[in-house]
Amino acid sequence: MVIKPLRLKKGDTIGIIAPASPPKSEPLKKALSFLEELGLDIKLGKSVHKKYGYLAGYDQERIEDIHMMFRDRDVKAIICACGGFGTGRIVSRLDYNLIGENPKIFWGYSDITFLHTAIHQQTGLVTFHGPMLSSDIGLSDVHALTTNSFQQLFRSEAIEYTNKLSMLETVVEGAASGPVIGGNLTLLVSTLGTPFEVDTKGKILFIEDIDEEPYKVDRMMNQLKMAGKFHDASGVIIGDFKNCVPEKREQSLTLDEVLKEHILDAGKPALKGFHIGHSSPSIAIPLGSIGRMNTYNQTFIVETGIREDENK
């Protein structure tokens, strides 16, 4: 059963956590001001300003922050400060009964992909693949479409992505529908062989990544293909692959060649060119909501990820 979290309204409290790496302090401070301008109150997790190497505190500290925010009835949404690395270390130790019994908005991307996949598959909760605080909202040149993505949390409207937002390209012709799942390619591959392995059956699979050379993308795409993830999917949406360029161009396949080869082989409807992921603008989408893609008019429409009525 799919569960949509209740929408936000002005005056609500949102919890800020860092379940992976520590956020940069100045961009985070600026991003918190942005949230306050939206009329929201802020509650910081205890590990947000902690550092343990490349992690925002010890595993147990980050786990406790997640549990605390889901348990706290005053907190209406949980927004991740940044990604980085570390969610795969804690995902098997989360209390999914607690999360399922306290459904609320959960927002982030990149390394947060592992949490999106686990939370949705364990509880049915729709979560949001959206721009994060210190790594996106807190930048000096943040795009208006990036900040505008947060309006998805206040209004229950479908997200309509067309060529008006970016130039889309058809990879495989066709139309498809189903729940939207996915996120960062590296993290999706890291779920394989675990109890939280991404399930793509009958779903629209979304992928994106950053700073991976084409041969590394090739390796990960091939692993997803061999695991049947493209074959099982109803369709494929390709987001931004920022800085995924070869170090030695004359000795490399291009990123487009790698992506198209593996996706063409599956034969499922596929579109590329979306500003979703490590991009500017970075447009949010609800994971778990029903999506409809059509390559003939190059559209991708996703149902709202929130509900209006507290009793539904």
Residue pLDDT, tens place only, 99-122? 999 999 999 999 999 999 999 999
For the cut 90, the answer to whether the pLDDT of residue 249 exceeds it is: no
First-residue to last-residue Cα distance in the chain: 13
Residue 15: alpha-carbon gap to chain centroid: 18
110 is catalytic: yes
Q: pLDDT band for position 1 (50/70/90)?
A: confident
pLDDT tens, position by position, 214-229: 999 999 999 999 999 9
What pLDDT score does 223 carry? Answer: 97
One-letter identity of residue 295: T
Q: Which two tokens stand for residue 69?
A: 């925010």
Catalytic residue among 21, 135, 149, 208: 208
Report the Cα 190 to chain-centroid distance in Å. 15
Examine the pLDDT at 299 and tell me if it is beyond 60: yes
Q: What is the pLDDT of residue 59?
A: 98
Between CA 154 and CA 11 the distance in angstroms is 12
Q: Average pLDDT, stretch 139-158?
A: 95
The active-site residue out of 21, 47, 110, 289 is 110
CA–CA separation, 259 and 66 (whole Å)? 35
Does position 312 have pLDDT exceeding 60, yes or no? no
Q: Which domains are present in the chain?
A: 13-153 (3.40.50.10740), 159-302 (3.50.30.60)
92 carries an active-site annotation: no
pLDDT, residue 231, reads 96
- In the prediction, which pLDDT does 64 show? 98
Confidence of residue 311 (pLDDT cuts 50, 70, 90): low
Write down the catalytic residue from 21, 129, 278, 289: 278
